[in-house]
Structure 1
Amino acid sequence: MATASVRTLCAFSRPFFPLLSCRWGNFCNLVPRTHLRGSGRAYGTGGTGFRPRLWVGVPLRGGGRALRCAFLVGGGLGLCYTLRSSFQRQLAEQKCDEQNNQLKLTLYQYKTCPFCSKVRAFLDYHGLPYEIVEVNPIMRQEIKWSEYRKVPVVVLNGTVQINDSSVIISALKTYLISREKTISQIIVCYPELRSKNEKGKEVIEYSNKYWLMLTENESENLYPEKDSRKEEMKWRQWADDWLVHLISPNVYRTPSEALASFDYIVHEGKFGFLEGIFAKYMGASAMYFISKRLKYRHNLQDDVRQDLYKAVNQWVSAIGKKRKFMGGSQPNLADLAVYGVLRVMEGLQAFEDMMENTKVKTWYQSMEKAIQLHEGKM
């Protein structure tokens, strides 16, 4: 794909740079016949009689003229190549921006939802423009059109719906790398599976959701290191299956923390005045007790902070001392997933305690910077 693009650009640029197709014998005809004898004006210099030192020791007849001609030709070639390279780069960047702008993305979310935060981290890192629709968590009128009643949901160009945070990220990443496939062609590779849990409630899952649908060459370019693809998938799943379940028990650990958490949720979410008051006090009380049940369900310690610290330090140890991110010099999808989950605790006591009692701070700040600067823009 990249090779074809370069060929197209080179073919397109030829009419703008006819000098490159000239033969050597024709170059002299393009050089002004300027005479440098006596007190005449030197070519490309200042006033009468001024001559650059470059020409002082050079004979002004015969071979000197050829040398000057070669010098000017070389400079002209260099300028042409520079201009052509700049033109190609600008055209490629413009083409990339146009392709990205064709993605009209609408994200239906709860701002404080860790799964929604994962998707925002991905979109922001890759510099993809998107519109946010904040969903009222009580009435959910904003997604009444959808049979799938959870968030996040992404709608592409007003027609294609993608559900589940990991499917959204995998499908969009595949699209960014493999432009020959449409989103509709990609999402069929993540089929929906319906089943019932032990309580008889219907559960929806998606196959292959941590897998990118790439060709062998695309995979080798994206994952040059051995086992880096497996590592990314492992930690993306870890973020969904383990890390995310540590958030609620930690942010609702005590009555005061539960109240502070719901104060933040109401402030950032979409609530009416009475809904906000109800959600803040009743929600905080309910989640305080629910968090206790979650602690036992997931076999957490009495001090749930210790489980959070252990998990975060486990993540930092997996990155190691030689890598800035798990993806190396740039974040991969596992980095974005873990960052997105942890970010929802910002401003709360659990986040401050995590920063103070684990080794995650350097990585977290590097992630924050990479996302703010859209360093993954393709």
Structure 2
Amino acid sequence: MGLGAWLVYEKMAAAMAHGMCSATWRLGHHLPGLRGGMAGLLMARGCFSRSGVVASRPVSTPGVGVRGYLNVPGREIPRSHLYLQRSESRAPLAPYSPQTWRRGYRTGWWQESGVSGRRSWGIMVILGGALGVLQTLKYSLGEERAEEDLQVTDGNLQLTLYQYKTCPFCSKVRAFLDYYQVPHEIVEVNPVLRREIKFSSYRKVPILLVNAGSPIQLNDSSVIISVMKTFLVSKMKSLEELVSYYPSMKATDDRGKEVIQYNNKYWLMLDERETGRVYPSKESQVEEMKWRRWTDDWLVHLISPNVYRTPREALSSFDYIVREGNFGTIEGLFAKYIGAAAMFVIGKRLKSRHHLEDDVRQDLYKAANDWVAAIGKNRPFLGGSEPNLADLAVYGVLRVMEGLESFNDMMSNTKIKPWYQRMTSAVNHC
């Protein structure tokens, strides 16, 4: 157990002991023979400060008075007198003598409450302390058990990623899983028939299927990444619970088409302590979310217009897609030539829809340099010394162009190459 965790448990033990002893105070106040002894419980009600003994609040029980003496080894604390309220009809408190100094505190109620009262009082103090310790241990063991359960669950999780290898959104998820070394299987989906995902009403990729006792299906690349990152960090939340934090909503896009949206998909569902472990500052959290959104809303839309910019590039791109994808022989021939011609036309439409320049390379170059400028000169990644989720998203999207003319042009005409090489080493753990 680390020092930070131990300090948390120590604070919780103090809070629980305070609560238990407060309950004992209220119980004892109603028992005959103990009314005069309530002041003895002032230790549990915050009466002792670092500088001596102070009263937390007046007590209205007649005849209650206490003279408090505190002795802490290695520290000289002046003798102090705590006066709560004492009836004139009561006998005065026993005077202080050096022989009684180390007894802690002295009251007159012990002699006055009788044998039965003293027994009851002793039982309640022991019970209160025992319950406080029990609750603290219970919480501590609960956290340790949760961590053990997480480790077991991590070992038993079976992840299957349904993808198109050349899809930028699928590449984002692969980059995340590879970087965090999350074991997973890959199923390459046939883009024409999509038989591999016939089990799903959601007909897009990526789909991450998680077998954690019962199958859990995660859709949308950014949701998949946020859920899995939260699951890796959080020690107290199950995967089923985390999925419920990312509800899907139907909406209409600017073309009037019904789409599914996840408004909180860039958030990690962490508590304050977990958030502090992931993000060194609030600004770094906001920055990561901003550039993850930028990747989905802008960068990804530059890929198709660039890789299908000319008929030659479109044919070269589809040759790569067919070679890496799950196509049959006939499907591959049709896809290579008919698909290339179709995507050349679609690429022009995408250029118009997203208001790109006539030479779409310029938009790609600018996006790459904007990203490098956001990282700055003093850190290797946007996440600092290590990649964050925005680094992985940008890298995943750009990686699908590797081997194509557009990728080579981007490496030669922008400042992104050093960062990209660092990311390749980080993701592949070179």
Please report how far the alpha carbon of residue 96 of structure 1 lies from its aligned counterpart in structure 2 after TM superposition. 8.2
- Is the contact between residue 355 and residue 361 of structure 1 (CA under 8 Å) also seen in structure 2? yes
SS at match of 1:227: helix
Q: Given the alignment, which residue of 167, 170, 182 partners 1:116?
A: 170
Moved over 4 A (4+): 1-7, 93-99
Percent identity between the two aligned chains: 64
- SS class of match (2:161): strand
Residue aligning to 1:279: 335
Aligned residue in 1 for 2:359: 303
Q: 1:103 and 1:243 mapped to 2: Cα distance?
A: 32
**How far apart, CA to CA, are the structure 1 residues paired with 2:2 and 2:349?**
53
| Structure 1 segment 1-378 matched on structure 2, within 5 A | 99-157=153-211, 159-197=215-253, 199-373=255-429
CA RMSD of aligned residues (A): 2.1
Show CA shifts across 1:221-257 (max 9, x none).
Answer: 1111340000000000000000000000000000000
**How far apart in 2 are the matches of 1:165 and 1:180?**
24
Question: Distance between the aligned counterparts of 2:372 and 2:254, measured in 1?
Answer: 35
Q: Is the 8 A contact 2:150 2:235 kept in 1?
A: no
Residue identity matched to 2:167: C
Q: Which residue of 1 aligns with 2:80?
A: none
State the SS of the aligned residue for 2:378. coil
Q: Say if 1:101 and 1:129, in contact at 8 Å, map to a contact too.
A: no
For residue 199 of structure 1, report the CA deviation from its aligned partner. Answer: 4.8
Report if aligned partners of 1:119, 1:340 keep a CA contact under 8 Å in 2: yes
Opposite residue 269 of structure 1, the aligned amino acid is G
SS at match of 2:427: helix
Q: 1:200 to 1:311 in 2, by over 3 A?
A: closer
- With over 3 angstroms needed to count, the CA separation of the structure-2 counterparts of 1:343 and 1:209, relative to structure 1, is same
Task: Judge which range, 187-196 or 130-139, deviates more.
Answer: 187-196
Quick one: distance in 1 between partners of 2:263 and 2:356? 29
Provide closer, same or farther for how the CA distance between residues 94 and 181 of structure 1 changes in structure 2, counting only shifts above 3 A.
Answer: closer
Larger Rg: 2
Describe the SS at the equivalent of 2:228: helix
* Residue identity matched to 1:122: F
Q: Distance in 1 between matches of 2:155 and 2:377?
A: 38
The one-letter code of the counterpart of 1:359 is K
The C-alpha deviation readout for 1:158-193, integer Å capped at 9, x for no partner, is 600000000000000000000210111001111100
**Which has the higher mean CA deviation after the structures are superposed, 174-183 or 233-242?**
174-183
Tell me, in whole angstroms, the C-alpha distance in 1 between the residues paired with 2:236 and 2:3. 14
Which structure carries more relative contact order (alpha carbon 8 Å, separation 6+)? 1
Alignment partner, residue 104 of structure 2: none
Gaps of 5+ in 1: 8-92
Residue 95 of structure 1: CA displacement? Answer: 9.3
Task: Tell me the TM-score normalized by structure 2.
Answer: 0.64
The residue type paired with residue 152 of structure 1 is P
Q: Partner amino acid for 1:287?
A: M
